Structure 1
Amino acid sequence: MTSTNSIIENFPIPSAILFLEFTSLGPTLLHQAPLGYLTDEQISRIQNFVFPPLSLFDRTLTLFHENRKYIGHAKCILGEQYKRNQYSFNCLLCFDGNLDVFPYHAVLTKIANEFSIYEIEEAFFSSPYDSDNFQSILNAILHGLRTVGEVNLEITDCNWLFLKVLPTNTDTLLEPIDSKSVPVIQHNIRTITHTELDLTIAEVLSHMDEIRPLSSIAKDSDVSLKEIGIDVSRHLQYYNILQGFVPIFQYTNAYLISPRIPLLLNSTEFQGEMLTYLRRDFDLQLVCINEVIRLFLSLKHAQSLYQLYRLELNEMLLLGQTALLRRIIEFGIFKKIIIPLKEYLYLSPSVSSRLSGLLERKEDFVQVDTLCWSQGGSHRDFVLQILEENEYTTLYV
């Protein structure tokens, strides 16, 4: 079900909102809007999701069950005033059908955090309260989300609740090149708070080290490659965590300068943005913007930045400072200053048995990165060990 309002057109809209407490009887449904959306029996079938182990509290969890999608964010407040010295609750947003509910993750997280504040400051739920008034609050939240995608609601004399569903601009989403694409993190991964991320996102993020490609991350995190490439990547971009994707063979790929190169030549703001990007890992004294510009402008046909750096411009950096070169390549790709080219080989009819054994099928053109990846070796090793035995022509596309 999607909204017909132009503000949130094509958005999935919630069918219900639920409020539950964990009591001596287990998960107890106290309020729901609309009334009668779920029965106690239906709640019992998802009780392990409503109140998961404490290690999964304060995380946004998603469940698809019996053709309904649920988003939950359980909270636990500690205090001697409570039975068992703690008070646990969960507020669920419910959707009919297996819908993409990603835009509502941040909304539900804020609802859970705000309700926690109300309880801590005013014992809003644990002390006797006006049940009808809270039911009207849930009705107003659901109505606002369903009609205009936002809520401006007075909860108490001192507390207001402001919510807004923010769509993700799919036109600006970065898509991975392929399974060999390497995700690059915007910030130091150790500074990212995982409590605002759902469990799958946090698990995938823990395996992103800016070295491993998507296929390796998918295997280690036990998440499908398709889900990582689309859903997880979009989520990380939404939270400004993911910078983008780069090819796994950065140094040995060939690049072409794009029509955007004048930005780097003439815009001091753009130059400053590049230095800021490099500053996160390196001493700026090692970086000269003029040498970076000269590096890009010196690119020749079928010549990689690594070759250019090693053969012509190694005075730009200290020898062995290839990590800085990697950052320079990343910035060039993200800002479309340089365009990575795929290297293909046109093989002679007399291809050696060693090489033909690596090919899944006989082809005239073979992508070098694919062969390197299948053998787990570097581009340089592949050329030295295999291609020297064969006649071939290189084509860059």
Structure 2
Amino acid sequence: MIQGIFYARFLPEEGTRVVHQSPPGCIVPEPDIDKPRLFDFETISEYIIPRQAFCNRYVTICEPENKYRILGHPVCIDNEKYKRNEFMFNFCIVIGTEVDKIPYEAVVRRLASTFTEMEIQNQFLSEEGISNSQDRRSIAALIEIIKEDLNNYNECMIPVDDANTINMKLFPVHKHPPPVKSWHVPISKIKFTDIMDDTWDLTMRKVIHHIDGIKDVRRIAHDADVALSLTKIALQHLLYYDSILMLDLFLFGNIYAPTPEINDFIADKDGLQNECANYVYINGPRLPNFYLCRLFTSLCTSRTIKEWLKMHMDQGFPVFNYIDVRRFIQFGVIKGLIYRVHKYAVSSQYIASLVSGQSMPVEGGDVLQKYTDGCHCFDQIITEKNMADSKIMERLRKFPKGDVEIIYR
């Protein structure tokens, strides 16, 4: 959110001066305005209108108390018609230091370029108060409207005169999403059927139709009859706009373990236990939330989901009769209550061949050899080679005795 916006210019007799500001009195005192200023302008004035070497470029400044950041683009127009043959000004936006400044950079640059063009055309800035034209808005009114519109609507379109319009928009900037792997499982965070229409990209529509929280990326590509590379691009686009999230394949041979955040679940912070119960219970009477805590805390790094289920069934608690195990695990991963322990195969012989730069095929194990460098999890092997976990272990046993180790992390 914009805390303030101001227009400053360099006057040969007075130096750097704030000519207009919004809200009134936020940068420098004004008559009949009794309100605290955001910061002491005098301490940073030399950076608002800097030396010519720093003009005509985007600059950011933090005031001494580090509460506010000033974004500007000082402009110097060289022309003999001005005093000292130059006209220097700056339109600055003030935001909190905790606010992402990237979306505002384009706005500051547009302000500088727009007012520079208007000054070159008709001395809009330098002859302010001199021109008698009644057909154009004042600078004070413009910066007030710009601040209000950007804060309220994230965009503004303001006619200045018959020839000029200020047109700007704040675009959110998202972090670049991590790469989409063929063994990932996408889960939608919004209801696409409510927003999707016939104007959407055909590939995107086909891919979205198969996002159900169960199918992995490779399966989605196959069922949607879309190339795997295009499927990944479509899903990465949805990731960029935070419309989906990615989880691991759910297999009963997976291993999960609690994170420190499990304490929040046990303490029922923000109603996590009831939220989990509403998500995972399927049949029969709803059990006390104690059983959910028991299920989460009994997960550990030495126990697969299959072994975990058998343990509870042996103790007289038939888990399948009450909860959807897949949804239970998904809830724990999404909320950060548990984490996945991945399995990797490491071949000392293959790693040695990589170090020496020589490829040493292993008899009977050539299909999996490239996956035995400790960098490829079993999920990747299962997906790319279409092999079950047991089949992978069977082929790894054909490697020389003692060569392959399985690492869990």
| 1:195 counterpart residue number | 197
Give the structure with higher Rg (CA). Answer: 2
| 2:102 counterpart residue number | 10
Asked if residue 234 in structure 1 is aligned to residue 243 in structure 2, the reply is no
Aligned residue runs from structure 1 range 196-345, under 5 A: 198-199=200-201, 201-217=204-220, 220-222=225-227, 224=230, 227-235=233-241, 237=242, 241-242=243-244, 244-267=245-268, 269-278=271-280, 282-283=282-283, 285=285, 288-313=288-313, 315-317=316-318, 319=320, 324-345=324-345
| 2:389 counterpart residue number | 379
| Fraction of identical pairs, as percent | 17
1:303-356 alpha-carbon deviations (Å, 9 max, x no partner) = 2223211343475445488x8111111111111111112211234759963333
| 1:101 counterpart residue number | none
Distance 1:185 1:144, change over 3 A: same
Post-superposition shift, 1:286? Answer: 5.6
Post-superposition shift, 1:377? Answer: 2.6
Asked if residue 370 in structure 1 is aligned to residue 383 in structure 2, the reply is no
Local SS of the residue matching 1:360: helix
| 2:3 counterpart residue number | none
Distance 1:372 1:361, change over 3 A: closer
Distance 1:144 1:232, change over 3 A: farther
Q: Is the 8 A contact 2:345 2:373 kept in 1?
A: no
CA distance in 1, matches of 2:347, 2:321: 34
Give the aligned residue type for 2:268: S
| 1:83 counterpart residue number | none
1:226-274 alpha-carbon deviations (Å, 9 max, x no partner) = 5335322233x3xxx53x2211144322222111111111116111221
Aligned residue runs from structure 1 range 90-101, under 5 A: none
CA distance in 2, matches of 1:382, 1:338: 26
Q: Is the 8 A contact 1:180 1:247 kept in 2?
A: yes
| 2:406 counterpart residue number | 394
CA distance in 2, matches of 1:317, 1:333: 22
The partner residue of 1:356 within 366, 369, 381 is 366
Question: Which fold has the larger relative contact order, with Cα–Cα distance below 8 Å and residues 6 or more apart in sequence?
Answer: 1
Structure 2 regions of 5+ residues with no counterpart? 1-57, 59-70, 73-92, 111-141, 159-167, 351-360
Distance 1:292 1:352, change over 3 A: farther
CA distance in 2, matches of 1:231, 1:365: 26
| 1:75 counterpart residue number | none
Local SS of the residue matching 2:215: coil
Post-superposition shift, 1:196? Answer: 9.9
Size of the alignment, in residue pairs?
Answer: 261
TM-score of the two chains, using structure 2 as the length reference: 0.49
Local SS of the residue matching 1:346: strand
Structure 1 regions of 5+ residues with no counterpart? 17-138, 155-162
Post-superposition shift, 1:389? Answer: 4.3
TM-score of the two chains, using structure 1 as the length reference: 0.50
Local SS of the residue matching 1:263: helix
Distance 1:145 1:354, change over 3 A: farther
Distance 1:365 1:395, change over 3 A: same
Distance 1:226 1:146, change over 3 A: farther
Distance 1:318 1:264, change over 3 A: closer
CA distance in 2, matches of 1:361, 1:394: 12
Distance 1:143 1:255, change over 3 A: same
Post-superposition shift, 1:210? Answer: 1.8
Distance 1:381 1:319, change over 3 A: farther
CA distance in 2, matches of 1:210, 1:319: 19
Distance 1:308 1:318, change over 3 A: closer
Distance 1:289 1:378, change over 3 A: farther
Aligned residue runs from structure 1 range 29-44, under 5 A: none
Post-superposition shift, 1:164? Answer: 8.5
Q: Is the 8 A contact 2:265 2:273 kept in 1?
A: yes
1:98-154 alpha-carbon deviations (Å, 9 max, x no partner) = xxxxxxxxxxxxxxxxxxxxxxxxxxxxxxxxxxxxxxxxx9xx9789966635899
CA distance in 2, matches of 1:342, 1:9: 38
The partner residue of 1:182 within 182, 185, 188 is 185
Distance 1:270 1:168, change over 3 A: farther
CA distance in 2, matches of 1:313, 1:274: 21
The partner residue of 1:150 within 131, 147, 154 is 154
Higher helix share: 1
